[in-house]
Amino acid sequence: MNQVLVSAPSNIALIKYMGKIEGSGNKPTNGSLSYTLENLRTFVRLTEIEGGKDQWKLLVREDLEKMDLSEKGQQRFLKHLQNLKDKWGVTKNFLVESANNFPSDCGLASSASSFAALTLAAAQMFQKINPQPWGEDKKVLSELSRQGSGSSCRSLFSPWAIWLHEYAEPMNLPVKDMHHIVVVVEDSKKEVSSSEAHKLVTTSPRFEGRVERAEIRLKDLSQALQFDDWHMARQIVWDEFIDMHRLFETSTPSFSYMTDGSKKVLEECQKLWNKWQDGPLVTMDAGANVHMLFRNDQKKSFETYRELFKNEFKVLAFEGVKSDVH
Ligand code: PMV
């Protein structure tokens, strides 16, 4: 039986991809920079089947979460598989089984990890069936993954990925093995999908100048991280997610993902930062949850934040790999 099992991580953007060039297969209007979340992964098992057509099923494994993929979600996933089959000239049919190792009911986007995992699984399988000279080139695979879900193209590189145009590339920065907290403020389904958000933001008067603002922050953040300027990095990352959320709030029609809970968590982060003049990079995606990234040497602070928010919210906390262990 021809079968492959592959997993891919999620990622969190510190400079956001928001706004895409219409009809371009998810080419972004601005460059983005992300940190790869190795602990949040999608697993995809691809099995060749005789006849019939491509199908999706939940991958059942004790260590993986049970999730419900809507009919629309399944179609989008299978359409991506079809694109990959066309690219490799493969005509066989497959059973796609997938599942995440993180709860699907906590508002964490899984499209980045799932599309990256499907792309990698298909590449592994199709290279056996009809090998292509470009079939193992990470840039080509990143470009293909992007066509399924934009942000997934960054999940092929770790720990940092930069995505400017067609594909993402690894970025070499000294900050590694960060600890990660997600304060799960809201776990219900989003009312405005990120695909809709990409379209709506272009109606905001603040979209004018957005590309330039993002490009400047991308340059400044890369430098700050390169030269260990954590204060600067933290400020840029904060300004950037606020900028994205302001675009949402000033679109026509306007929408918002920020809840009272998100605001409370952000205020608390700001208070702690003012008190200690140190703390995590704080960011939010197109959702209500708040992500925090701590340097590897901020383990104590990571624990303090985890304990603080645990009383009121669901908190997912992942320790980065210790850099002193080789
Ligand atoms: O990949 P999409 O279309 O789901 O876009 C996601 C965009 C954000 O998550 C909001 C930001 C980003 O760069 O990941």
Residue 151 Cβ contacting ligand 1 at under 6 Å: yes
Q: What percent of the chain has pLDDT over 90?
A: 91
Residue 32 Cβ contacting ligand 1 at under 6 Å: yes
Question: Does the pLDDT value for residue 113 go beyond 80?
Answer: yes
- CA 35 vs CA 128, 163, 165, 203, 294: distances in Å: 31, 12, 18, 29, 12
Closest ligand 1 atom, CA of 195? 3
- CA 245 vs CA 59, 154, 173, 206, 256: distances in Å: 35, 21, 27, 11, 7
Residue 287 Cβ contacting ligand 1 at under 6 Å: no
- CA 210 vs CA 31, 205, 240, 298: distances in Å: 11, 10, 10, 32
Report residue 39 as tokens: 């602990």
pLDDT of amino acid 189: 67
- CA 97 vs CA 48, 125, 144: distances in Å: 12, 14, 20
Residue 154 Cβ contacting ligand 1 at under 6 Å: no
Residue labelled with tokens 């209500």: 288
In CATH, 179-325 is 3.30.70.890: yes
In CATH, 3-170 is 3.40.50.740: no
Using most ligand atoms within 8 A of CB, pick from 283, 285, 289 the residue to mutate for ligand 1: 285
- Neighbouring CB atoms inside 10 A of 302's CB total 24
pLDDT of amino acid 322: 66
pLDDT of amino acid 190: 73
Among residues 142, 82, 85, 79, which one has the least CA distance to residue 112?
142
Report residue 229 as tokens: 């300027």
Residue 114 Cβ contacting ligand 1 at under 6 Å: no
Residue 184 Cβ contacting ligand 1 at under 6 Å: no
pLDDT of amino acid 138: 98
Residues 6+ apart with CB under 8 A from 6: 43, 44, 46, 117, 120, 121, 124
Q: How far apart, in whole angstroms, are the C-alpha atoms of residue 311 and residue 108? A: 20
Using most ligand atoms within 8 A of CB, pick from 11, 12, 18, 26 the residue to mutate for ligand 1: 18
- Residue 326 — pLDDT band, cuts 50, 70, 90? very low
Delimit the domains of the chain by residue range: 3-170, 179-325
Dump pLDDT digits (tens) for 7-64: 999 999 999 999 999 899 999 999 999 999 999 999 999 999 998 999 999 999 999 9
Using CA atoms of 82, 83, 87, 93 in order, give the dihedral in degrees to the nearest 10. -10
Ligand 1 centroid to Cα of residue 49, in Å, is 33
DSSP labels for 29-47?
Answer: SS-EEEEEEEEEEEEEEEE
Using most ligand atoms within 8 A of CB, pick from 11, 15, 17 the residue to mutate for ligand 1: 17
Q: What is the pTM of this model?
A: 0.96
Burial of 176 (C-beta count, 10 Å sphere; 0-12/13-18/19+): middle
Q: How far apart, in whole angstroms, are the C-alpha atoms of residue 22 and residue 4? A: 34
- Evaluate whether 3-170 and 179-325 have a shared fold: no
Ligand 1 centroid to Cα of residue 149, in Å, is 8
